[in-house]
Amino acid sequence: MNFSKGGLVAVSLAALVASGCSTSRFSSMDDQQPAPLQAAPSGQVSSSQLPPPASPGTTDPSQFPTAPANTQVASLPPDGTAPAGASDLSAASVAGVWNVSVSGQSCKVATPQTKFGAGFRAGPLHCPPPIDGIKSWNVAGKQLTLYDENGGSLARLYSSGGSKFDGQTSNGQPISLTR
């Protein structure tokens, strides 16, 4: 007797389905449903008037925390030279995704090694101005420069060792990149 493989598979599946329909292992669950819970009181509801709002300027200043005393901000030397300890850069050392901090706001910038204009393409993600306008980047010696769509410099940064860059934007805001 000669059976085709397809016919044998079809007969096997039909037998399997038919045997699964006759099982009684799930019928015991249908008979034993839990009894519904009775409603229970949750407490009293009360209402009253709120106190009037405080007038501006009547708050106690001693209740506020003191400002931090040591607030250091990264910046470039005024003459544009590299800070002491800055190392030479390569495109490979900059390529990747960076956490960017600009004046206390954070975002991410992707710096792939995809050629674009005079440097490489860049992609900011939910960044504050002016970093939201980054379109490209390039390295020259010890300096990483971020550019806008017209090739204008948006920020200049130097390596601070490891996976960190510090510098400032073209309008003087502190900026840092970390991984």
The pairing of strands 105-111 and 123-125 is: antiparallel
Q: Where are the chain's structural domains?
A: 91-178
pTM for the model stands at 0.54
Write down the pLDDT at residue 64. 63
Query: E strands within the chain?
Result: 96-102, 105-111, 115-116, 119-121, 123-125, 136-140, 143-147, 153-159, 164-169, 174-178
Write down the pLDDT at residue 45. 76
CATH architecture of 91-178: Beta Barrel (2.40)
Q: Residue 157 phi/psi, 5° resolution?
A: -135, 155
Write down the pLDDT at residue 20. 62
Question: Looking at residue 142, what DSSP letter applies?
Answer: T
Write down the pLDDT at residue 21. 59
Write down the pLDDT at residue 19. 67
Write down the pLDDT at residue 77. 52
Write down the pLDDT at residue 23. 57
Q: pLDDT 10s per residue in the chain (179 long)?
A: 566 777 778 888 777 776 665 555 555 555 677 788 888 777 787 888 888 876 665 566 666 666 666 555 555 554 455 655 666 788 888 999 999 998 888 999 999 988 887 789 999 998 888 889 999 999 988 889 999 999 999 999 988 777 888 899 988 889 999 98
